[in-house]
Amino acid sequence: MPNRYGMLVDLKRCIGCYSCIMACKQDHGVVAGKRWNRVTTVGPIGKFPNVRMHYVYTMCMHCEKPPCVDACPTGALYKRDDGIVLVDESKCRACFDLCEDACPYRALARDTARGKQTKCTLCVERLEVGEQPLCVQTCVTQALIFGKVEDLPKLMAPRTKGATTHRLLTDQGTGPGLQYSKDPELGTTKGRRGKVYVDVT
């Protein structure tokens, strides 16, 4: 069975520099006002002088059971054997609301000028030549780790003793391929539909 690819976000390392977003938009020609990936600022948290900020990276989760694929009536959205969810633009009929409403992560980015749905592709064109996704390569703090989904916790382990990983909105049954570091100092990154936050309680 082919490897299922995914990504892990090391929350301790993200500094909110947005280099991942800018690189993605420029390389893929993402339309103005839309993003394939996001960095959400969480905070300030705490009381002065012990105040801190966190930055939470999100993108398409490349779900094991992607609801956008099930919602697409034309088959334009599909999942490859390696777990990457893509859009076949030749089949897209611009019925944007169906797939967008189905995605609990709000990861789709409609291109109304062309009448096509767009989204993160995990840079499949780069993977095919042995390179990593551009957001991973561009990250100045190495906060993003790319690899096989089952290997991601092991790749995180050398960075923080006892660190584990978790996923957003697991109650939705999507099986997201994007994981987050879970560390007692930071608390747990959680989500609501279209939003993320850090629970520090």
Q: What token pair was written down for 54? A: 């966190």
DSSP string, the chain: -PPPEEEEE-TTT-----HHHHHHHHHHTPPTT--SEEEEEEEEEEETTEEEEEEEEEE----SS-HHHHH-SSS-EEE-TTS-EEE-TTT----HHHHHHH-TT-----BTTTTB-----TTHHHHTTTPPPHHHHH-TT--EEEEEGGGHHHHHTTTSTT-EEE-S-GGG----SEEEEEBTTTBEEEEETTEEEEE--
Cα–Cα distance for residue pair 181/160, rounded to 1 Å: 9
Q: Name the pTM for this structure.
A: 0.86
Per-residue pLDDT of the chain (201 residues; tens, 9 = 90+): 458 999 999 888 999 999 999 999 999 999 999 999 999 888 787 888 888 888 889 999 999 999 999 999 999 999 999 999 999 999 999 999 999 999 999 999 999 999 999 999 999 999 999 999 999 999 999 999 999 988 887 887 777 666 677 888 888 899 999 988 875 555 555 555 445 544 432
